[in-house]
Amino acid sequence: MSLKSAANSISIVASLLLTAAGIVCAQSVAPYPVKPIRVVIPFAPGGTPDLQMRILEEKITPRLGQPFVHDYRPDAAGSIGMEVAARAPADGYTIVVGTVGSWAVNPHLYKLSYDVVSDFAPIINVGSTPAVLVVHPSIPAKSVKELIALARQRPGELNYGSTGIGGFGHMCAELFSSMTNTRMTHVSYKGSAPALTDLVGGHIQVLFNSAIVTVPHITAGKVRVLATTGTTRMPILPNVPTLAEAGLPGYENTTWSGIAAPAKTPRAHIDRLNREFADALALPDVKERFIQSGSSVTGGTPEQLHAHVKAEFAKYARLIREAGIKAAAE
């Protein structure tokens, strides 16, 4: 081969390599997103996950240049929505907002077609929301210690409501009973509103419920608040102690919302979404809106959400096993 031919060959090879490199580079910086992002909400509209997402989307949509479209799948305690998201294309255009129930409780109560850890790519932990422990005013218990004493004196006679087996209120009550060696009777409702209505009416005596819907009844004197379930006092109820403060050291139970995508979603898309959600959660007005709804922001990295899911998974596995909770109707 002549020197001229060799030079030409080298030139051609170099050109091909540069072209290939250019293609790879172009792919690595491909714009995202270029179309709307579907948000699977495994619950009915108007719930905490839905409202929190709407608060965040107000800030994020202008930055992404694409809207979020909510896809509500309110069935099977959130399992249907989680399954829909797990089976969606891993292209960054489907995300899901799961809660403590759908992430950490359901796997121990139902036979699921997906794995809550391996079938999802965590994005960010959105926020946490404690419950309030309230009783009917006719109950002669004006503190947590007095409620514990009353429950021990009258095993099984106090009725507590919840949104269903495995629901957050149910888990709060079961943890309370486990830690206090008491027994109350579970009454399952289809939502927090009918449970609260029956508490106000005196048909049940105890309820662990969302603060945002319960505070008006507390203010009106229709129910008596004894404590909250978080690690710190709630800003909207600053004079109400936590259960740990009120005589039950070590008690802590909060529901939380986490955002994830199907497993194998490109890491670049995960990082972009994490960055946008984290920036929105850090805004003072977003924090204030969360506080007014009874929640607090969390944020963090995908790895931190992954670790949180695993820890909560183990926590509820133990609680459900020890309490003997079954998914079958009571």
Residue 200 lies in a domain: yes
- According to DSSP H, which parts of the chain are helical? 3-28, 48-64, 79-86, 100, 144-153, 168-180, 192-200, 211-219, 267-281, 284-292, 302-323
Tell me the mean pLDDT in the region 144-170: 94
Over the stretch 314-326, which tens digit does the pLDDT of each residue have?
999 998 998 888 8
Residue 112 lies in a domain: yes
45, 112: one domain: yes
Q: How far is CA 56 from CA 41, 49, 71, 126, 161, in A?
A: 14, 11, 16, 9, 31
Q: Total domain count for the chain?
A: 2
CATH of the domain at 197: 3.40.190.10
184, 268: one domain: no
pLDDT, position 27? 47
pLDDT, position 281? 98
pLDDT, position 29? 58
Tell me the mean pLDDT in the region 253-281: 97
Tell me the mean pLDDT in the region 93-113: 93
pLDDT for 207 beyond 50: yes
93, 159: one domain: no
In the predicted model, what is the mean pLDDT of the chain? 90
Which one is predicted more confidently, 209 or 9? 209
Q: Which domain holds residue 200?
A: 130-228
pLDDT for 156 beyond 80: yes
Residue 250 lies in a domain: no
Tell me the mean pLDDT in the region 148-164: 95
CATH of the domain at 53: 3.40.190.150
Q: pLDDT-based confidence at 330, cuts 50/70/90?
A: very low
In this prediction the pTM is 0.81
Residue 238 lies in a domain: no
160, 97: one domain: no
214, 262: one domain: no
Tell me the mean pLDDT in the region 33-42: 96
pLDDT for 102 beyond 50: yes
Over the stretch 43-79, which tens digit does the pLDDT of each residue have?
878 778 888 999 999 999 999 999 999 999 987 778 8
pLDDT, position 324? 87
Q: Rounded distance, CA 98 to CA 104, Å?
A: 10
pLDDT, position 164? 81
Contact 59, 283 (CB under 8 A): yes
211, 271: one domain: no
pLDDT for 175 beyond 70: yes
pLDDT, position 12? 53
pLDDT, position 323? 84
pLDDT, position 25? 46
pLDDT for 20 beyond 80: no
224, 262: one domain: no
- Angle at alpha carbon of residue 57, lines to 55 and 58, rounded to 5°: 70
268 token code pair = 């670049």
Nearest to 96 by CA among 266, 263, 267, 261: 261
Question: What is residue 256's three-state secondary structure?
Answer: strand
Residue 6 lies in a domain: no
pLDDT, position 214? 92
151, 122: one domain: no
Question: What is residue 147's three-state secondary structure?
Answer: helix
Q: What percent of the chain has pLDDT over 90?
A: 75
Residue 101 lies in a domain: yes
Over the stretch 268-295, which tens digit does the pLDDT of each residue have?
999 999 999 999 999 999 999 999 888 9
Residue 281 lies in a domain: yes
